[in-house]
Amino acid sequence: MLQQFGNNSSLSFALDFQHYGELTVSFQQKALTLLATSFLGLIFSAGASAQSGRDYVYVVGSSTVYPFATVVAERFGRSSEFKTPKIESTGSGGGLKLFCDGVGVDYPDVTNSSRAIKQSEVDSCAANGVTEIIEVKIGYDGIVIANAIGAPAMSLSRRDIFLALAKEVPGKADGELVENPYKTWADVNPDLPAARIEVLGPPPTSGTRDAFVELAMEGGCKTVPWIKELKSSDKNKYKAICHTIREDGAFVEAGENDNLIVQKLEANPDAFGIFGFSFLDQNMEKVKGAKVDAVAPTFDAIAEGDYPVSRPLYFYVKKAHVDVIPGLRGYLREFTSERAWGEEGYLSERGLIPMPDEERSEVASAVRELKPLSLASQ
Amino acid sequence: MKTAKTTLEKVEAGLPRRRRKEMAFRAIGVLATAVGVLFLGVFFATLIAEGSSAFRQTFMQIEVELREDVIAPGGELDLVYADFDGLVRTALREQFPDVSGRSDRRQLYRIVSAGAGYQLRDMVEADPDIIGSRQTVWVPAASNVDMLVKGNIDPDIDESLRPISDKQVAWVNTLRDAGKLERRFNKALFTNGDSREPELAGIRGAVMGSALMLVVTIVLSFPIGAAAAIYLEEFAPKSRWSDLIEVNINNLAAVPSIVFGLLGLAVFINWMALPRSAPLVGGLVLTLLTLPVIIIASRAAIQAVPPSIREAALGLGASETQVVFHHVLPLALPGMLTGTIIGMSRALGESAPLLMIGMVAFIVDVPGGFADPATALPVQIYLWADSPERAFAERTSAAIIVLLGFLLLMNLAAVIVRKRMERKW
């Protein structure tokens, strides 16, 4: 019709179209009404179906746990009669917020977290009716400080890390703070090379950043006696000193994409990057991890607890959802099975550092019994 | 005697300067175009260089005995709990009988993909008669073997620096020399949903998710956008209110897309209680996003219809509604469709608003309906780009190539619609 119109003169077409139009007006109206009603129907039926039930496990939470949880979910989905769980990467804090919003099929069953749940989060959960939460510790993750494979090997102490990256560092006198004056690693510690301090790391929204600040920075910060004393007298000031990273360009926030950091390190041998152990594990021929307090970030050192910058990973489960959501119990069993999180399980191949045998069997039996978390206010 | 310059002389005196200016301007233009083409060339070259290898995947041949006592113990077929991985391992041990010791065997098992067991299960499910027979099958090799064969892992560097051991390299070479290792077309990339095993990961789930979303978007945004444009252009009285609406629509077209995602989260998910991660909600959000684009393009198309057409129709006794639906709309339709297709291709490339409504998720099952959990093609690219496994790098580029292919097709459709249906006045 339109094609024809393009070739004919406008007048003849107009007449032609007018007849056509009269015939089809009623049809057009009907079609439009039909379309509108069917669409409204679609929207409401979708809404209703979401209310009535969900036949897959719904997981949210930490982007650090995401690579492990997805592997478990996929294996579970493929080897059971249940659907594959859906896993959203929302970050630890965002995940716990969604998790605590309520009980019911619209809310997640499980949230992954790269830190332990906070009391405030337990309270907000309880306020929304989420009273029984099962905590599952799944293993450890090391945070590494790495540089390009061709660059000189580094051995840092946590004190070096703190002095190189803090916004304010202790001055000459006790209690005196000065804007971080150090430009090169040699300024921090004469044993280190005279290369410019340039560190690429995660942004403040990241769980990796939280853990790095807490374990590495604060660990170094505590070695200054007068700051250590502040911890009991003025906790806020202590935190401000130990947890604030410099903003003068020596520390670059490189976003959440760790692959990007690895690429940048390859291009710039002077730069260091901060990321999870699993990325070091997968890129061993491109980057190498610096020793921290004379311990190299190896699988064994993290598993033994010798490497200082490592943290436990968790997930949290709503007890009320177990046996209501199909497959949730099976997902928990798969995650806590030896073939998944064991010494030689498939998660260890992905860079998760397993817990010691006893701790694993303890957590696994707690999960089997669905033992809820016992933080004070419940 | 001093004579005044004639006009011609004045023009000629200034001519070299004007020509120089023109040449300079042209040179700048050529340079700007060349820089643009260069960037585009580098972009495509790196993308294709990196991504093209993902369309082929390394497969290895194994000879596996489908033992009845493993698959159907007691004569009862149990596909869920049967140990197909064990059969694959037995096959590998038979192939390399002199590999002994626990750690060596573990290394040996790792050269084959975790998908080999699933493949055997699917074979048995399709044809239970093969239970008990010996079958020669081609199964995907592990992603590290694939990377080695493709040259992305250098076997000459120190063993501790690469994810594949000297022994594994030797086994791969043995297989290759025996003709039992081949690179084949990577069908899984197009037929599978997402996976954490790179050799099993595919974009079908993401493509389906994007398609479902675009269906919702086009069904909603074209009628609403066209109706709004027609009303504003042909019927609405020109007043302060219609000016205000016009300014707002133009502003909406420039609002960052994440804002629409936040709106979608608040209205569709929190208030209307629609499911998270569903293509329905994604489509609704993308509708909000494309509406201003479609309204603006449609209004421009309607404005381009010459007033003489309207006047002639009115002169022949047509009502205003008849003028619009019988004369103006058919003439403006090509322009409106072009605008819609451009809007759709923008919607296809969006990932930011989908972040807010839970579509950035690991979803293995291919969505079958508007309320199923789904992800979209740009989101899949984002998720793969963030994966630690090496083999995902080339798959990320491959997925980008596919996305660009779709965008190219849609823009081509827009050009064809315009070329074939548009009328010049």
Residue ranges of domains in chain A? 1-36, 58-140+314-368, 142-311
Domain ranges of chain B: 56-185, 204-421
**Chain A, nearest residue to B279 by Cα:** A46
| Tens of each residue's pLDDT in chain A, 378 residues | 344 443 433 333 443 444 444 444 444 555 556 555 665 555 555 544 444 578 899 999 988 899 899 999 999 998 888 999 999 988 888 899 999 999 988 899 999 998 889 889 999 999 999 989 999 999 998 899 999 988 888 899 999 999 999 998 888 877 788 889 999 999 988 988 888 999 998 887 677 888 889 889 999 988 888 888 888 888 888 888 899 999 988 998 887 677 888 888 988 988 999 988 888 887 888 899 999 999 999 888 888 888 999 888 999 999 999 989 999 999 999 999 988 898 888 888 888 888 988 889 999 999 988 888 875 433
Nearest by CB to B162, which of A18, A42, A285?
A: A285
Which of A74, A75, A257, A350 would best serve as a mutation to test chain B binding (most B beta carbons within 10 A)?
Answer: A74
- The sign one gets for the Cα dihedral B4, B7, B8, B12 is positive
Q: Which CATH architecture has domain A58-140+314-368?
A: 3-Layer(aba) Sandwich (3.40)
CB contact residues (below 8 A), chain A span 354-373, against chain B: none
Cβ–Cβ of A351/B388 closer than 8 Å?
A: yes
Contact B272 A47 (CB under 8 A): yes
Of residues A46, A87, A282, nearest to B278 (C-beta): A46
Query: Quick check: B365 and A77 CB within 8 A?
Result: yes
Per-residue pLDDT of chain B (425 residues; tens, 9 = 90+): 556 778 888 888 889 999 999 999 999 999 999 999 999 999 999 999 989 999 999 999 999 988 888 887 777 777 777 788 888 999 999 989 888 887 888 889 889 998 898 899 888 888 888 888 888 999 999 998 999 999 888 888 888 778 888 899 999 999 999 999 999 999 999 999 999 999 999 999 999 999 999 999 999 999 999 999 999 998 888 888 888 998 999 999 889 999 999 999 999 988 998 988 999 999 999 999 999 999 999 999 999 999 999 999 999 999 999 999 999 999 999 999 999 999 999 999 999 999 889 898 999 999 998 999 999 999 999 999 988 888 899 999 999 999 999 999 999 998 998 888 877 66
Picking from A351, A347, A370, A353, the residue whose alpha carbon sits closest to that of residue A312 is A353
* First vs last C-alpha separation in chain A: 71
The CA R_g of chain A, rounded to the nearest whole Å, is 28
User: What pLDDT, on a 0 to 100 scale, did the predictor assign at position B41?
Assistant: 95
Q: Which residues of B touch A346 (CB under 8 A)?
A: 114
CB spacing of B362 vs A87 below 8 angstroms: yes
Q: How do beta strands A168-170 and A177-179 pair?
A: antiparallel
Interface pTM, i.e. ipTM? 0.80
Token pair recorded at residue B75 = 């004569």
Alpha-carbon gap, residue B396 to B51, rounded angstroms: 7
Contacts of A82 in chain B (CB under 8 A): none
Beta strands per DSSP E along B222-365? 361-362
Cβ–Cβ < 8 Å for A298, B404: no
Got the DSSP string for A106-167?
TS-SEEEESSPPPHHHHHHHHHTT---EEEEEEEEEEEEEEEETTSPP-EE-HHHHHHHHBS
Which pLDDT score is estimated for A23? 40
pLDDT in tens, A361-376: 999 999 988 888 875 4
Contacts of B139 (CB under 8 A, 6+ apart): B59, B60, B62, B88, B112, B113, B115, B116, B119
CA–CA separation, A73 vs A227, rounded Å?
45
Q: Rounded to an integer, what distance in angstroms lies between the CA atom of residue B337 and that of residue B420? A: 12
| Topology, domain A142-311 | D-Maltodextrin-Binding Protein; domain 2 (3.40.190)
Work out the end-to-end distance of chain B between its first and last CA atoms, rounded to an integer number of angstroms. Answer: 58
B361 and A10: CB-CB below 8 Å? no
- A277 in B contact zone (CB under 8 Å): no
Looking up tokens 């191949």, which residue turns up?
A349
A78 contacts in chain B (CB < 8 Å): 118, 364
Give A-chain residues touching B322 at CB under 8 angstroms.
18, 21
Contact flag A284-B162 (C-beta cutoff 8 Å): yes
CB pairs under 8 A between A and B: 144
Window A:49-88, CB contacts with B under 8 Å: 49-51, 56, 63, 66-67, 69-71, 73-75, 77-81, 83-84, 86-88
The answer to whether B273 contacts A6, with C-beta atoms less than 8 Å apart, is no
Neighboring chain A residues of B360 at a CB cutoff of 8 Å: 88-89
Structure token digits, residue A217: 């920075």
A142-311 and A58-140+314-368 share a CATH fold? yes
CATH no., domain B204-421: 1.10.3720.10
CB–CB contact B322 A80 (8 Å) = no
Q: Do B219 and A46 touch (CB under 8 A)?
A: no
Q: Mutation target for A interface from B83, B196, B285: give the one with most A CBs within 10 A.
A: B196
Query: Is B360–A283 a contact, with Cβ atoms under 8 angstroms apart?
Result: no
Q: What pLDDT is recorded for position A48?
A: 47
Whole-angstrom distance, CA of residue B59 vs CA of residue B139: 5
Nearest to B389 among A46, A47, A282 (CB): A282
The first and second tokens of residue B138, run together, are: 């081609």
Is B38 an interface residue toward A (CB < 8 Å)?
A: no
Which residues of chain B lie closer than 8 angstroms to A259, CB-CB?
385-388, 393
The string over B354-383, giving b where at least 16 C-beta atoms fall within 10 Å of a residue's C-beta and e elsewhere, is bbbbbbbbbbbbbbeebbbbbbbbbbbbbb
For residue A378, what pLDDT is reported? 37
A19: left (phi over 0), alpha (psi -120 to 50) or beta: alpha
> What is the sign, positive or negative, of the torsion defined by CA atoms of B295, B301, B305, B307?
positive
